[in-house]
Structure 1
Amino acid sequence: MSAAPGPITVPDWLTRSVTATHPAEAPAWLAGLPALVSEQLTRLALTLDRVLDPGGTHSLVAYVHRDDDLTPATLKVSLRTPTNAHEPEALTAWAGRGAVLLLDAHRTATSSVLLLERLHGEIPLRSLAEPKAMLEATSLLHRLWLPLPPDTPAPGPSLPTTPTLPAEAPALPDEATPLLTEAGETATALTASATERFLLHGDFHHGNVLAADRAPWLAIAPRPLAGERAYDLARLVLDRADTLVGSPGLPGAVRRRLHQLAEALDVDRDRLRGWTLVRAVDLALAALAAGRRPEAELYLEFAGAL
């Protein structure tokens, strides 16, 4: 029988992040989070080791262990959003192949509660030098892509077709308006002409890959979608955008990265370029909505180099 958990403190980072992106839902969800975590520790017969700070942008993440056999695990309690609503289904489909293993899943009206195998959260793939990290990332991403037959329901929605600026976001810089228009037209054309359908991670980058005991590296935090592989790979193209934007000859550096990643995973280069433009604009819009204007400008500059 697990001991009653002590007071659970919600990390300030989580409070700020959820409040910035979901102002209507944040107060009630954050207020009820400590009690919900305590309930889940009791339900699953877990002992709390520690709450990770900062943890996730929409999740309280805690290291725990099972009382019956002392197995270490990770408890993740998230605000349910359209982007993470199907995380359990994707992890179930992968069954530990290239991704963290799902041990238990539970949903409430506003939350998703996942019990996961314990990974080494302090060692993300981002800790490796970029060439080695990209090599490991492409190998892992190839394992995650599961083909979906036409009549098979996907554990997640289909690809979005049009980047949109959230209503609460500040106005776009004038020079960004043509990029938004081009991104929308490109997304519509790519979606209409797609000829493949895979289960995609949806948010695959070096920060969402952690060192593990069962395998060298495993993916976490999917935002699963059904669509073409170039969409998933485009997020990896944008990884460490700050170092690429800061390098001399940005357009040439972007072209080289596109070519290397497209060749490594046998993905059409032109479609990869198009989805990279779309996803760069998407990330810029999300950053604007969250009040992170320097980050938004970084992704817009990357998009302009495409």
Structure 2
Amino acid sequence: MTAAALPRPPARLVRAQGASSADWLAGLPALAGSLLRRWDLTAERVAEPGGRDSLTVLVRTASGGRAALKICAPSAPATLEEAALRRWNGLGAVRLLREAPREGALLLERLHGETSLRSLPEAKASLEAVSAVRRLWVEPGAGHPFPSVAERTGAQAERMRAGAPREAGGLVAEALRLRAGLLAAAPAGRLLHGDFRQGAVLASDDERARWLAVGPEPVVGEPAYDLARLVRDRLHDLVASAGGPAVTRRRVARLADAVEVEPERLRAWSLFRAVESGVRNLAAGNRADGEMLLEFAGWL
């Protein structure tokens, strides 16, 4: 597949990036072609549906090895992901093979993108997820570039205050109150994935681990923050079930016990992250998802 023959960017990526990244989207085929030539790669196909912040091209290296070329959008620079993958060095996460920071490009070992933990039954997926995420919680290292949870959620809190709809006012106030308390008594920070969920853990053929994490949004903070995104996994199924609130509370207790974090801290971060995501979806016009996330937050 030549650069000229590369398909148009996936629809999911185009929708997420919008007009603000039109020039970058238009230049993706040429950029991908340049990277393929520079690194002596042969493109097989573009991964579909792909991510909202990057294009992934499945490739072969000059030696015939399988790899994945990821090109990150300007709105989601690859610098922090590269630093986190180097820090983990394949322990619990996909291995970084090469990088081109200026172009936002990462060459990664290829995993089975079509097979995530979401393909497993819920109980088995939860056990595997806990095993995978614990391997990522390492010291960030001296002079690391990663933002803190306080910094990342601080920007989110400002947007929540500015853009919360009236009907979400009570939940937003509670989320902000909980955040303040969490940060006032936060335990020592670790390097976190930042967007850890079952869909971000893919099957691997490498003997070092059956499942490996991808797509980090690395941040330094307490493990409960990382687990909070996992609490609402398979949200559509939770909302559709008659016992969603009870299942959610049991999930919080089970996850907290599995990794020895305080259940109340996990509950509080789960509420904050669900409200933040709900408000953000409402602001973007995704009313169904936004309302579902706020309903979930109300269960907590």
Question: What's the TM-score, normalizing by structure 1?
Answer: 0.90
Q: Per-residue CA shift, 1:198-248, capped at 9, x if unaligned? A: 000000001111101012110000000000110001011011122122222
SS of the residue 2:241 aligns to: coil
**Equivalent of 1:79 in 55, 68, 73:** 73
Aligned match of 1:11: 10
Residue 131 of structure 1 pairs with residue 130 of structure 2: no
Q: 1:187 to 1:154 in 2, by over 3 A?
A: farther
Give the aligned residue type for 2:6.
I
Aligned match of 1:272: 266
Question: How far off is 1:258 after superposition?
Answer: 0.5
Q: 1:148 to 1:92 in 2, by over 3 A?
A: closer
Q: How does 1:101-180 map to 2 (within 5 A)?
A: 101-108=95-102, 111-148=103-140, 152-159=142-149, 160-162=152-154, 163-164=156-157, 166=159, 172-180=164-172
Aligned match of 2:43: 48
State the alpha-carbon separation in 1 of the partners of residues 60 and 176 from structure 2: 46
Question: How far off is 1:164 after superposition?
Answer: 3.8
Question: What's the TM-score, normalizing by structure 2?
Answer: 0.92
Structure 1 unmatched ranges of 5 or more: none
Question: How far off is 1:183 after superposition?
Answer: 1.0
**Equivalent of 1:204 in 187, 196, 201:** 196
Identity of paired residues, percent? Answer: 46
Aligned match of 1:98: 92
Question: How far off is 1:165 after superposition?
Answer: 6.9
Contact 1:98 1:143 in 2 (8 A): yes
Aligned match of 1:285: 279
Aligned match of 1:252: 246
Q: How does 1:11-30 map to 2 (within 5 A)?
A: 11-19=10-18, 23-24=19-20, 26-30=21-25
State the alpha-carbon separation in 2 of the partners of residues 249 and 60 from structure 1: 38
State the alpha-carbon separation in 1 of the partners of residues 11 and 274 from structure 2: 28
State the alpha-carbon separation in 1 of the partners of residues 45 and 264 from structure 2: 46
Contact 2:165 2:279 in 1 (8 A): no
State the alpha-carbon separation in 1 of the partners of residues 12 and 28 from structure 2: 14
Q: Per-residue CA shift, 1:96-148, capped at 9, x if unaligned? A: 0000000011122xx41000001001111111111110000001111111034
SS of the residue 1:14 aligns to: helix
Structure 2 unmatched ranges of 5 or more: none
Contact 2:3 2:30 in 1 (8 A): no
State the alpha-carbon separation in 2 of the partners of residues 119 and 304 from structure 1: 36
State the alpha-carbon separation in 1 of the partners of residues 221 and 296 from structure 2: 23
Aligned match of 2:60: 65
Q: 1:5 to 1:80 in 2, by over 3 A?
A: closer
Greater share of residues in helix: 2
State the alpha-carbon separation in 1 of the partners of residues 140 and 199 from structure 2: 26
Question: How far off is 1:36 after superposition?
Answer: 0.7
Question: How far off is 1:174 after superposition?
Answer: 2.9
State the alpha-carbon separation in 2 of the partners of residues 239 and 298 from structure 1: 13
Question: How far off is 1:155 after superposition?
Answer: 4.1
SS of the residue 2:104 aligns to: strand
Number of aligned residues: 293
State the alpha-carbon separation in 2 of the partners of residues 156 and 138 from structure 1: 23
User: Greater CA deviation, 5-14 or 134-143?
Assistant: 5-14
Aligned match of 1:190: 182
SS of the residue 1:86 aligns to: helix
Question: How far off is 1:80 after superposition?
Answer: 3.2
Question: How far off is 1:81 after superposition?
Answer: 3.1
State the alpha-carbon separation in 2 of the partners of residues 86 and 285 from structure 1: 25
